[in-house]
Amino acid sequence: MKLKASLLGAVALSTMATMAFADPALIYDMGGKFDKSFNEGAYTGAEAYKEASDGDYRDFEISEEAQREQAVRRFAEEGNNPIIATGFAYSSILDAVSQEFPDLTFVTIDGWVEQPNVLNVGFKEDQGSYLMGIFAAMASKSGTIGFVGGMDIPLIQKFACGYVQGAKSVNPDIKVIQNMTGTTASAWNDPAKGAELTKAEIDQGADVIFHVAGGTGVGVLQAAADAGVLGIGVDSNQNGLHPGSVLTSMLKRADIAVEKAMTEAAAGTLEAGVWSLGLEDGGVDYAMDDNNKDLVTPEMIAAVDAAKAAIIAGEVEVHDYMSDNACPVM
């Protein structure tokens, strides 16, 4: 039996006591399992593991900050292994709990924990967003494009920097308007605010807008579609949310990371350390399907694929904002 978001607090956590001990566990970040973005990508990976292995997994959707530690600790007490948490906000919790349960393996996706039983999974988001910048600059008719981020943190600035760099590789004079939704975790689940920021960017001339805002991005894409401009999705393939209005989506393959971690754990081969997934291994990419095929020209595909190959070959270096918290093109 899977835990639902409606089973809160002690009731939800006590239910875990009936669960099998060896199953992996997945804990989502704020925004919910079906956020059409990062959390849903992780869920998709867990479902892929379940289907391929005939195994099972446990999962939990938090609805308040206090549940982060409660869920991690209870899954650990019940012996679920590995315990996978999506989002940087779990880092300090995993750092503490992993030391109390040295025989279990913990996985942080987008976080960082320096413990011998923690696997840190990160992505080269700047590479993927560089491609989104090329798409946006080539599709823009106004010479102005937009970016709506979720929580104002270095990780989201990393996306923004790559996006600007990619756009300026096409048009050095392009204008990129940027806004962040907020400074707390609620920034990931505020579609109304996302729509408001999008409308403001459109009023300033933006005709292509890339969101990196979790559940908030649903409002970004809706507002863009309503105004007749193009949106760009993120994390999962969001092209189908508004067919004909979403130019493409930057895929950040949390599904690959979760499925791989669960599969290796079941085989007894999962090791702590660091995974850094980028263009070269399919960790980030762009989405093409029937929903956006009429929006993307062969010239766009050629330019993006050329940039992708050059980045993989080391011929184009995308600036990593996380390395020095600065972006030379912004």
Q: What is the pLDDT of residues 63-112, one digit of tens each?
A: 999 999 999 999 999 999 999 999 999 999 999 999 999 999 999 999 99
Average pLDDT, integer, range 289-297? 97
Q: Say yes or no to pLDDT of 196 above 80.
A: yes
Question: How do residues 211-229 score in pLDDT, each as one tens digit?
Answer: 999 989 999 999 999 999 9
Closest CA to 213 of 204, 205, 222, 225: 222
DSSP 244: T
Sequence-distant (6+) residues with CB within 8 A of 155 are 88, 110, 125, 322
Mean pLDDT of 230-256: 96
| pLDDT higher than 80, residue 1 | no
Model confidence at 53: pLDDT above 60: yes
Q: Which residue has the tokens 């300090």?
A: 92
Structure tokens at 268: 């007894």
pLDDT on residue 182:
96
167 SS3 class: helix
Residue 306 pLDDT: 98
What does 10-63 look like in DSSP terms, one character per residue?
HHHHHHGGGS-SSS-EEE--TT-TTSSSHHHHHHHHHHHHHHHHS---EEE--S
- CATH homologous superfamily of 126-251+297-324: Response regulator (3.40.50.2300)
At 56, which amino acid appears?
D
pLDDT score, position 328: 81
205 Rama sector, left if φ>0, alpha if ψ -120 to 50, beta otherwise: left
The yes-or-no verdict on residue 312 having pLDDT over 50 is yes
Overall pTM surpassing 0.75 (yes/no): yes
Reference 148, options 188, 89, 88; nearest CA is: 188
112-142 pLDDT tens trace: 999 999 999 999 999 999 999 999 999 999 9
Crossing angle of helices 125-139 and 154-170, in 10° steps, is: 40
Q: What CATH homologous superfamily does 2-123+255-277 map to? A: Response regulator (3.40.50.2300)
Provide mean pLDDT across the span 304-320: 96
Q: CATH 3.40.50.2300 spans which residues of the chain?
A: 2-123+255-277, 126-251+297-324
246: left (phi over 0), alpha (psi -120 to 50) or beta: beta
pLDDT at 322: 82
Structure tokens, 258: 């979760």
The pLDDT value given to residue 13: 36
**Does the pLDDT of residue 267 top 60, yes or no?**
yes
pLDDT exceeding 70 applies to what percent of the chain?
94
* First vs last C-alpha separation in the chain: 48
**Percent of the chain with pLDDT strictly greater than 90:** 85
CA neighbours closer than 13 Å in the CB half-sphere of residue 121: 26
